Structure 1
Amino acid sequence: MKKKHAAILVLLIVLDQLSKILVDSKLMLGQSITIIDDFFHITYAHNTGAAWSMFEGKTIFFCLIAIAALVVMFYFYRNMKPEEKLVRWGIILMMAGTAGNLIDRLVYQYVRDFLDFIIFGYDFPIFNLADMALCIGVGLIILDVALEYFESIGAMKHHE
């Protein structure tokens, strides 16, 4: 792994863990601080499940899945072409997010969440920086696939 990629990966994991430590040390479980009324709150929650608290209490299962995912992501990262920059950064972000939440599951048997948004009246599930890294990473990979698709359509039209 390139040094700058490894540094970003470690930095993201450290920022995720530090943010969780800060919230854990300042708020009681369930306590909420309004940042922007009816939009953004810091609300301390524990999640023993996956997204939207699905499959609660399956900590060992989620740890095994996370470890397997990290191995697969690292394999893909190692076998990528240097020009696949978006996918490479996507995988780095996904690895950081996976590792950040895995640390919580291994240490606490739950994930510490605190970012709480209400979007168009919908109280979105509370999440953390690791979840953001995962989502942005997936978004970068989807963007790369879309760009390749539209590039191939343009190349096909050019040949007609």
Structure 2
Amino acid sequence: MAPEIAQDAADGSAFRLSALRGKVVVLEFGFTHCAAVCPASLASLAAARQKLGAHSDRLQVVFISVDPERDTPARLKTYLAQFDKGFVGITGTPEQMAAIRKDYGITATKHTAGGKTGYQMGHSSYLYFIDKKGMLRALMPFGRPADEIVHDVNVLAAE
């Protein structure tokens, strides 16, 4: 089983990963100030949902912040809406987010570049695929095209 995630989503609703059973869930860990990797992954995920067309409801994307100090719920919600209004954003206290990262083996390190808010986050960049039964089934490294995401979603959705 994929480790449970249970806390408020960026839109204020109560979120439980286990409530998404019946859908293929893709988790992405990232942050809203990311310059390249996170937006590229989110764009691929948004393109995959578009390519799924009438079957786009098979896929639920959940973006989990590795930078809770800057990723407020409002900022996360606005950021994700640029890609797909159906994406769910998760943020919380630094302790809550550290616990989720630990459960999924995600590393995140703050790299300061001057000033209090002048930092970037170095973090693991994988997409975590969770099947309809809640089992963690695959990790996809950064940079995979939308067609490969669609393929994997369709395989997992057909099971």
Q: TM-score, normalised by structure 1?
A: 0.28
**Structure number having the greater helix percentage:** 1
